[in-house]
Structure 1
Amino acid sequence: METRPDVFSVLLFIVVLHSVAASPSYSSSSSANLSFTFYAASCPSAEFMVRNTVRSASSVDPTIPGKLLRLLFHDCFVEGCDASVLLQGNGTEQSDPANRSLGGFSVIDSAKRVLEIFCPGTVSCADIVVLAARDAVEMAGGPAIQIPTGRRDGMVSAASNVRPNIVDTSFSVDEMIKLFSSKGMSLNDLVTLSGAHTIGTAHCSAFSDRFQKDSKGKLTLIDTSLNSTYADELIKQCPADSSPSVLVNNDPDTSFMFDNQYYRNLLSHRGLFQSDSVLFNDERTRKQVEDFANDQVGFFESWGQSFFKLTSIGVKTGDEGEIRRSCSATNT
């Protein structure tokens, strides 16, 4: 089914506003201080400049949308959506092995440089990360979503905070539920936001636990929940002696299109990660996977709401944090 993202723009805007008004978790947190018109006076072209930067980068490298979306997840789940993942240095979040394969930093830096020329000291790196991921999804064919701004940049970034706060590809449904719940996210959010794997790529090591080496050193499938034909394709792409730099598309069918193919893949047992496959195998999440596989409109509507909640996790506003001059370092 083909869909036009612009059809959902107004609808998602209304749905999101309703969700904010109805949910105490929003009104009782710093996210209540975010605004849809935050930069209207101080930097009215802020969103345009970010969008244009993402569009230019994506036109050259089609993997950019997936990288920007993953960057957002790894930022918001650790310390909240405060651009702490962008800080460089020994012991920062970037130094954790789970973050060494992150990409898209150059896109954020490019947008920040432009914004510092036209609106110096005004637009936070945290807002840029959120807006860039939002725009990346839309440019890849996903829904257009209105997102409030006003986040400030955090000043703490520690590698020790990474592993306890992000989903590992080997997680069970129970482990993911526990982590999402700690961030104020529901089971519906878990299944919906897992749909981010409809774009992006992964290193072979991210799903190597589903295989093992036989006596001859060749990879063999040990996870019987994985489609055997698909497993053979993965083995061809990731032989036992493959380079650590080898990448595999999360979605083998529509690799660079943000759609509901991810859920269709789960129905045919072609989820790349174990954390994908368990969503169809578990009775608590199977029905929603089936619904999204058969209804892209429904997935897009749910994505708008869950994405809004994701980008509201632990935000800093008002006098909290700072507006960095450079996204890779604090001002002090």
Structure 2
Amino acid sequence: MSSSEASAKMKVKAAPVITLSLVFILANFAGLCVSALQEGFYRGKCGVADVELIVAGVVTTRFFMDPTIVAALLRLQFHDCFVNGCDASILIDGSNSEKTAQQNHRLRGYDIIDEAKAIVEKVCPGVVSCADLIAIATRDAVLLGGGGRYNVQTGRRDGLVSLAQNVSLLGPLASVPESIKLFAKKGLSATDMVILLGAHSVGVTRCSSIKHRLYNYKKTGKPDPTIDPFLANLLRSICPQNSSVDNIVNLDQMPLGPLILDNSYYKQLMVNRGILQIDQELATKPCTRKVVRKLATSLDFPAQFHAAMVKLGAIEVLTGKQGEVRRHCRARNKPSSS
């Protein structure tokens, strides 16, 4: 065998070794990306201070003053994560920030995050991101709302961009297929979507978002035929056709429904008592009705909701040296003078 032939054989034999090594390196790198968020990220980073316990104290105090903060914080996290990812860009003030977009005009809960941030900054300045505070506060609100407790992942950093034109959230007239496409763009499945919409069990809407279902539905002169007749009459009493007052309507019409995060939302859908058009469509579209039926009779909705919330909280997060850790959640840090 010539020396050139021997060399060629050695290269052929070495190739798989190099390939396997590369695969091993890439796999480890991918693992690092996946685990960029972790439970207990701030443990030991703030001395003896327990960041999550501080946030829990703020949220608990607010909850006993106003239980509707459960829905407010759930909506705040959702609206934040579905624009630039979970980066707290929704919190930034400005004449053209995300806050100013029409879809965000009725968002609440900013002051809760502000309060938590102010306390955390006193004991641990410049360490805890506003994005993580949203995730922690929402988790605590879910627990207080009866939805059980899950371990929240942290390690996010705050985004540098907040523009109203980046907000492309769907409105109350969105269809199930449109919503599935939007969720898919964020790496969430149709099942994830149905589970996350379970947050509507503590949510509210306005008459302006449902009047089209109550009166002249699709120009028929009648209400949406998929609404339970008794519920339709009740909703018409809350939302008179020609009233200029845009009243609030609970998305879960059970007596204690709006105060408890549970699967009663799905039970209502199964008997044609969905309030929003998309809510009721979940129970009729082939791509989602099986999931709705299962959740309506299942005892493990809390566990499924927890998993979906963790998945939501990991959308397009900034970690490591990306973004920043804002000292005040409503404004980006000032550039260093050095």
Fold match by TM threshold 0.5: yes
CA–CA distance in structure 2, aligned partners of residues 331 and 208 of structure 1: 44
The 5-angstrom pairing of residues 47-66 of structure 1 reads: 47-66=52-71
- Indicate the residue corresponding to 1:6 in structure 2: none
Name the structure 2 match of 1:257: 260
Gaps of 5+ in 2: 1-26
Structure 1 position 146 matched with structure 2 position 151: yes
Q: Is the 2:326–2:333 contact (alpha carbons within 8 Å) kept by the matching residues of 1?
A: yes
From 99, 102, 125, the counterpart of 1:97? 102
Q: CA deviation at 1:31?
A: 5.1
1:226 aligns with 2:231: no
Q: Distance in 2 between matches of 1:245 and 1:169?
A: 15
Note the residue ranges of structure 1 that are not aligned, 5 or more in a row: 1-23, 215-219
Please tell me whether Structure 1 or Structure 2 has the larger radius of gyration of its CA atoms: 2
Q: Residue 249 of structure 2 aligns to a residue in which SS?
A: strand
**Match for residue 189 of structure 1?**
192
Structure-2 change in CA distance of 1:88 and 1:29 (3 Å): farther
In the alignment, residue 57 of structure 1 is paired with which amino acid? R
Question: Structure 1: how far apart are the matches of 2:191 and 2:30?
Answer: 20
> Are 2:309 and 1:307 equivalent residues in the alignment?
yes
**Of 255, 273, 276, which residue of structure 2 is paired with 1:273?**
276
Counterparts of 2:143 and 2:204 in 1: how far apart (Å)? 18
Say yes or no: does 1:68 pair with 2:73.
Answer: yes
Aligned with 1:329: secondary structure? coil
What SS is found at the alignment partner of 1:190?
Answer: helix
What secondary structure is seen at the aligned counterpart in 2 of 1:141?
A: helix
Count of residues paired in the alignment: 300
Question: How much has 1:243 moved relative to structure 2?
Answer: 5.0
Match of 1:127 among 127, 132, 135: 132
- Counterparts of 1:164-179 in structure 2, within 5 Å, are 166-179=169-182
Q: Which residue type is aligned with residue 117 of structure 1?
A: K
| Kept after mapping to 1: 8 A contact 2:207/2:248 | yes
In 2: Cα distance, 1:308 partner to 1:96 partner: 26
Which residue in the other structure is 1:246 paired with? Answer: 247
Change beyond 3 A, Cα 1:90–1:267: same
Change (3 A) 1:155 1:231: same
Q: Specify the code of the residue in structure 2 equivalent to 1:109.
A: D
Question: Is 1:323–2:328 an aligned residue pair?
Answer: no
Residue 161 in 1 paired to residue 166 in 2?
A: yes
Equivalent position amino acid for 1:106 in 2: D
Tell me which residue corresponds to 1:34.
Answer: 37
Residues 16-61 of structure 1, C-alpha deviation per residue, up to 9 Å, x if partnerless? xxxxxxxx9x956855211212100113411011111111001001
Q: Which amino acid aligns with 1:115?
A: V
Picking from 289, 292, 296, the partner of 2:295 is: 292
Aligned partners of 1:269, 1:29: CA distance in 2, in Å? 46
TM-score by structure 2 length?
Answer: 0.84
Whether 1:86 aligns to 2:91 is yes
1:255 is paired with a residue whose SS is helix
Root-mean-square deviation (CA, aligned residues, Å) is 1.9
- Contact 1:81/1:314 (CA < 8 Å) preserved in 2? yes
Task: Give the secondary-structure state (helix, strand or coil) at the position aligned to 2:258.
Answer: coil
User: Quick one: structure 1 residues 244 and 113, their matched pair in 2 at CA, closer, same or farther if it must change by over 3 Å?
Assistant: farther
Q: Is the 8 A contact 1:75 1:82 kept in 2?
A: yes
Alpha-carbon distance, 1:246 to partner? 2.4
Distance 2:314 2:170 in 1: 18
Return 282-291 or 241-250, whichever deviates more: 241-250
Q: 1:109 matched to which residue of 2?
A: 114
Overall identity of the aligned pairs, in %: 41
* In structure 1, C-alpha distance between the alignment counterparts of 2:180 and 2:231, rounded to whole Å: 27
2:34 & 2:165 partners in 1: Cα distance?
Answer: 25
The aligned amino acid for 1:231 is A
How many Å apart are 1:327 and its aligned residue? Answer: 0.9
**Structure 2: distance between partners of 1:71 and 1:89:** 17
Contact preservation (8 Å) 1:168, 1:275: no
Q: CA shift at 1:148, angstroms? A: 1.2
Q: Deviation of residue 162 (structure 1)?
A: 1.0
Instruction: Determine which structure has greater relative contact order: mean sequence separation of CA pairs < 8 Å that are 6+ residues apart, divided by chain length.
Output: 1
Task: Report the Cα distance in structure 1 between the residues aligned to 2:235 and 2:120, rounded to whole angstroms.
Answer: 42
Aligned mates of 1:308, 1:267 — CA distance in 2: 27
Using the TM superposition, give the Cα deviation of residue 76 of structure 1 relative to its aligned residue in structure 2, in angstroms.
Answer: 0.4
Contact 1:324 1:330 in 2 (8 A): yes
